[in-house]
Amino acid sequence: MSTLRNDRGKGILERIARRVMMERGFLVDFSEAALNEVEKFAQVDWGAKSPWKDLRHLLWASIDNDDSLDLDQLTVAETLPDKTVKILVAVADVDALVKRSSAIDEHARQNTTSVYTAGKIFPMLPEKLSTDLTSLNYDEDRPVIVIEGVLSDVGEIQSSDIYRALVRNHAKLAYNSVAAWLEDKGPMPEAVGVVPGLAENLRIQDRVAQQLKGLRHEHGALDLQTLEARPIFAGDAIQDLRVEERNRAKELIEDFMIAANGVTARFLHGKKVPSLRRMVRSPKRWDRIVEIAAQHHSQLPAEPDSVALASFLAAQKAADPLRFPDLSLAVIKLLGPGEYVVEFPGETPPGHFGLAVKDYTHSTAPNRRFPDLITQRILKAALDGSPVSYSRDELVELARHCTEKENDANKVERLVAKSAAAMLLSSRIGDQFDAMCTGAADKGTWVRIFHPPIEGRLLYGYEGVDVGNRLKVQLIHTDVEKGYIDFKKIH
């Protein structure tokens, strides 16, 4: 019994995560110098010395995962006399404490991102900062960068501004409970009800977010849906994998952040300073996307066209929601990964194909992404009229390094997720499952079982099996260390 508990425990997943992190060049622990810097930080009374705009009275609230402690942003809306709506996003001023070239900054610069694995979270910044001093925690005064935009009744940004301010989080909210309430599937979250006016404000935010989303989709933003499953633990033992569903609250935050990142990119462009852009290039493998559309009896133009692709995806989601996550995954792989590039004054940014926007940066998560911290420093310099502290060559190298480390982090997270899935299925060798083929190529055939939602390789009986086929499979082998899950087809 103890062996089973150990085989299914978080400890083994943390060990695997540490090994894979180190193989990919990540720092898994903070240096002594960084820890010494952390010890010198004390709680700061920002309200007593703030020279910035005091916006603590606004109905700021955070909406994040149930277990999130590193709160990067707060949101609020304000209806103006002419019935337009101003949306405000407050982003944690991490640079106020994390100074450039400090030991903490050097750790963040190497890893460039927090890495979220089933065994352990490896934060980019020490937790005393990311979950406390630089987190926008409930009922705490915090310095922020406010990104605001005034929207028309169809979701177009008519005017915008960026400035420094002091804010206070009046409600720490979670995606699932807020979404259930917004979608009339659950009660109002208790934390909403105790703040006068917050319920109405969140309704306004939700309405505006839907307008923003609608406008983006008109311009060709892609609605993609993949199956992301989080491990569910009971104590140290893995019990299940639960699919993370999209919902209205997640869309609210997503659409506000996309708008804020666009405002930031255009602000820096207007100030004629360099910016670190986030982009997905026009897909090189568009011809294969055209082939996939043809297999679904749809025709796409010969040249990349995000509006046409968005229309095809929307039709497929409505016609076959069960297989849509697998179609989405195939399209995502063919679009290629996102990357960071530097836009210098006078240059035209390449844009983001998947979001159908030309101006896009990462600026809203400086506790967990280093590009956002770089952008914050550039932004504060622009606001102060100071020179940018990063040279041209340094920014280009940072863009390359951040892209590389983000790809590495994704690989670490995927591998540990596969190990968690193998761990969950390790006691079910010989069991049979309903499955769907998700990949068929010379290098192998892959299937996804429906519950728990796990993908593995079809080692035997793969002849004639193609993407989208339904079949019955039997689990024949798992390897937790390597994240292997192997099936055979049942004839």
Q: Is 21 found in the same domain as 103?
A: yes
Q: Is 454 found in the same domain as 367?
A: no
Q: What percent of the chain has pLDDT over 90?
A: 57
Q: Is 297 found in the same domain as 246?
A: no
| C-alpha span between 145 and 143 (Å, rounded) | 7
For residue 423, being part of any structural domain is answered with no
| C-alpha span between 409 and 108 (Å, rounded) | 13
The answer to whether 283 and 355 have CB atoms below 8 angstroms apart is no
Q: Is 92 found in the same domain as 34?
A: yes
Write out pLDDT tens, residues 229-264.
788 888 888 888 887 778 899 999 999 999 999 899
| C-alpha span between 455 and 254 (Å, rounded) | 27
Q: What percent of the chain has pLDDT over 70?
A: 92
Q: Is 220 found in the same domain as 329?
A: no
DSSP codes joined into one string, 451-462: TTTEEEEEEES-
Among 275, 273, 302, smallest CA distance to 289 is for 302
Count of CB atoms situated within 10 Å of the CB of 238: 21
Q: How much is the average pLDDT of 144-158?
A: 91
| Cα-Cα end-to-end distance for the chain | 35
Write out pLDDT tens, residues 185-209.
999 999 999 999 999 999 999 999 9
Q: What is the pLDDT of residue 322?
A: 74
Q: What is the pLDDT of residue 353?
A: 59
Among 50, 393, 452, smallest CA distance to 242 is for 452
336 CB-near residues (< 8 Å, 6+ apart): 280, 281, 283, 284, 285
1 pLDDT higher than 50: no
Write out pLDDT tens, residues 268-301.
989 999 988 887 766 777 788 888 888 888 888 8
Q: What is the pLDDT of residue 415?
A: 92
3 CB burial (10 A radius; 0-12, 13-18, 19+): exposed
Among 208, 167, 160, 142, smallest CA distance to 58 is for 167
170 CB-near residues (< 8 Å, 6+ apart): 59, 60, 61, 138, 139, 195, 198
Q: What is the pLDDT of residue 4?
A: 37
Write out pLDDT tens, residues 340-398.
888 888 777 666 555 545 667 889 999 999 999 999 999 999 999 998 889 989 999 99
End position of a domain, from candidates 396, 417, 438: 417
Q: Look up residue 146 and give its two tokens.
A: 């406010």
Q: Is 331 found in the same domain as 195?
A: no
For residue 422, being part of any structural domain is answered with no
Q: Is 346 found in the same domain as 452?
A: no
Q: Is 26 found in the same domain as 168?
A: yes
450: three-class secondary structure by DSSP: coil
The answer to whether the Cα torsion of 48, 53, 59, 64 is positive or negative is negative
49 pLDDT higher than 70: no
Which residue segment(s) compose the domain that 411 sits in?
2-281+340-417
For residue 232, being part of any structural domain is answered with yes
Q: Is 260 found in the same domain as 162?
A: yes
End position of a domain, from candidates 383, 417, 451: 417
Choose from 11-20, 284-293, 431-440 the range with maximum mean pLDDT: 11-20
3 pLDDT higher than 70: no
Q: How much is the average pLDDT of 53-68?
A: 93
Amino acid at 178: V
For residue 308, being part of any structural domain is answered with yes
For residue 484, being part of any structural domain is answered with yes
| C-alpha span between 284 and 347 (Å, rounded) | 22
Confidence of residue 6 (pLDDT cuts 50, 70, 90): very low
Q: How much is the average pLDDT of 108-134?
A: 95
Q: Is 98 found in the same domain as 236?
A: yes
Write out pLDDT tens, residues 75-87.
999 999 988 999 9
Number of domains in the chain: 3
Q: How much is the average pLDDT of 143-153?
A: 94
Which is more confidently placed, 16 or 42?
Answer: 16
Q: What is the pLDDT of the chain when averaged over all its residues? A: 88
For residue 172, being part of any structural domain is answered with yes
Q: Is 382 found in the same domain as 399?
A: yes
**What are the residues facing 144 on neighbouring strands?**
92, 165
pTM of the prediction?
0.87
Lowest-confidence pick of 127-141, 231-245, 405-419, 475-489: 231-245
Place of tokens 């290629």: 336
Q: What is the pLDDT of residue 334?
A: 75
Element (H, E) at 283: none
Q: Is 393 found in the same domain as 292?
A: no
For residue 424, being part of any structural domain is answered with no
Confidence of residue 333 (pLDDT cuts 50, 70, 90): confident
Looking up residue 461, the CATH number of its domain turns out to be 2.40.50.140
Choose from 108-117, 155-164, 437-446 the range with maximum mean pLDDT: 108-117
Crossing angle for the helix pair 306-319 and 324-335, to the nearest 10 degrees: 160
The answer to whether 56 and 234 have CB atoms below 8 angstroms apart is no
| C-alpha span between 286 and 126 (Å, rounded) | 42
| C-alpha span between 342 and 324 (Å, rounded) | 34
For residue 63, being part of any structural domain is answered with yes
